[in-house]
Copies of this chain bind each other. A is one copy, B any other.
């Protein structure tokens, strides 16, 4: 069984604060180590991270604001389980924002930016080669965030970051296609366009990449990771 137990606490000497805890949980969700719907008990997490519930609550509230976690009053926090409608909205929002960020990024990217993107892709490949699906997925999302940041619109970049995070949950629930190779190819050509400062091409590539991702989702069905009850009944 995977769950909070599998999260390794950071090895820093100082006890982690809410930001570190939040980042760690966020990463675990990104990498699909925490499945949608998983209960995030406060005492449990407090034990794991070696801090008081105060820290944990702060971290959970932060994640809840980013809609990675749902908090039900008096019932606790759970890894969010986006509905098909929400999933659709997230991808529609991405299709609205990200082509624009790709465009701007292509115009503004410095050689250092491009180098960072390429280094990122290398790590992505390594993770895939290692068959580390979780890490590959995380890195794949972070590339989109990085492009948004290069675009120099930190406000929109923040939005994109939120959307990417939620996309990870959506992939966990609604992904129907196994091969992720196409993605890697899409990222390559995208970076090439950015490197060549071909904004129009970058924008077009981003559009088709997102459409491709979007079409790899099966939003008709109920979530694969069903409620425990439903899971048993199904």
Contacts and interface: CB of A to CB of B under 8 A. Distances in A.
Interface of A: 57-58, 61-62, 65-66, 86, 89-90, 92-93, 96-97, 100, 153-156, 159, 163
A99 to B, nearest CB: 11
Contact of A65 (B62, B153, B159): B62
B159 A93 contact: yes
Contacts of A90: 155
Copies of the polypeptide in the assembly: 2
Q: Is the interface of A mostly helix, strand, loop or mixed?
A: helix
24 contacts: A58-B61, A61-B62, A62-B65, A65-B65, A65-B66, A86-B154, A86-B155, A89-B153, A89-B154, A89-B155, A89-B156, A92-B153, A92-B155, A92-B156, A93-B153, A93-B155, A93-B156, A93-B159, A96-B96, A96-B97, A96-B100, A96-B156, A155-B163, A159-B159
A90 B159 CA distance: 12
Which of A57, A96, A155 has the most C-beta atoms of chain B within 10 angstroms of its own C-beta? A155
A89 B152 CA distance: 9
Contacts of A89: 153-156
A169 B89 CA distance: 28
Contacts of A156: 89, 92-93, 96
A97 B90 CA distance: 14
Contacts of A61: 58, 61-62
